[in-house]
Amino acid sequence: MLDRRQALTGLAAWPLGAWAQGEADPFGSLQWPDLRREFFGSAPVEFDPRVQVRGPGFAEDPMNVPIGVSAAGLPEVEAIVVFVDRNPIRKVLELVPLRALPAISFRFKLEQASPVRAAARTRDGRWHVGGTFVDSSGGGCTVAGATRQDGSWSRTLGQVSGRVFDASPAPGVAGARLRVRVMHPMDTGLVAGVPAFHVKQLALRDAQGDELLRLAVFEPVSENPVFSFDFPGRVGALRLVGVDNNGNRIDARIE
């Protein structure tokens, strides 16, 4: 007999903790062959437990689903892509860590119960894929956000706030975590009469202007997105720059 998540999605159940390295999709997703072609083309791909995706078993608020991704167990990670099998807009974001650790936490919109996946590309060109299954009552991508409904988005558009915390990855090892919020309605374009309007690109720079990371952002990221990034060692003053898909600039210093 199918369990609830199989009945909702047509996906094979995959017991927690049963991830094994290989090429067979642990979720048995009917969408996986198309996703593989769309995101990876002919590049080598394997499912890898070292790419960890953490999320709730059930999305209580499908417009704000918390997800944490880490590929810290992999060497030489050049990029991380996060995508959702059964969202109408599948790609959520893409992180180029540069001088940051290959990890990110954020919230996103989930339209229906689905696997949520992260793929890390290592320097040898191989993609390593991890994921988790999030159940949902649905509707996250096709509902207007709170600031769009009350009209307050225009007063706060592009404002940035952030804070750096000590975050040691191991005893005696220095590390830092940045949590930053960018005020933006993040409209998906799937609500009647509201075109797509979202943050498109962000880059984090140090006091010398050198880039620490780059982030490509897509419509499924939640309204007024909050991102968390980790760094080896200490960080000083930071500058976040970016642009949305309408050309509005984002430029803020984080002391």
Report all structural domains of the chain as residue ranges with CATH numbers, in order of start: 4-254 (2.60.40.2470)
**Where is average pLDDT lowest: 58-62, 129-133, 143-147?**
143-147
CA distances from 85 to 102, 114, 234 (A): 22, 6, 37
Q: Yes or no: say if 100 and 212 are a contact pair by the CB < 8 Å rule.
A: yes
Residue 15 has pLDDT above 80, yes or no: no
Specify which residues 176 forms β-bridges with: 166, 231
Q: Which residues of 102-135 are buried (b: 16+ CB within 10 A; e: fewer)?
A: bbbbbbbbbbbbbbbbbbbbbeeeebbbbbbbbb
**Where is average pLDDT lowest: 32-36, 90-94, 173-177?**
173-177
Residue 191: pLDDT band with limits 50, 70, 90: very high
Which residues does 218 contact at the CB level (< 8 Å), separation at least 6?
89, 91, 92, 93, 198
Look at residues 103, 236, 240, 98 and name the one whose alpha carbon lies nearest to residue 174: 236
Q: Yes or no: say if 230 and 166 are a contact pair by the CB < 8 Å rule.
A: no
Residue 23, pLDDT score? 78
User: Amino acid identity, residue 199?
Assistant: V
pLDDT tens digits, 25-68: 999 999 999 999 999 999 999 999 999 999 999 999 999 999 99
Count of residues in the chain: 255
How far is Cα 27 from Cα 103, in angstroms, rounded to an integer?
23
Residue 20, pLDDT score? 58
**pTM listed for this prediction:** 0.90
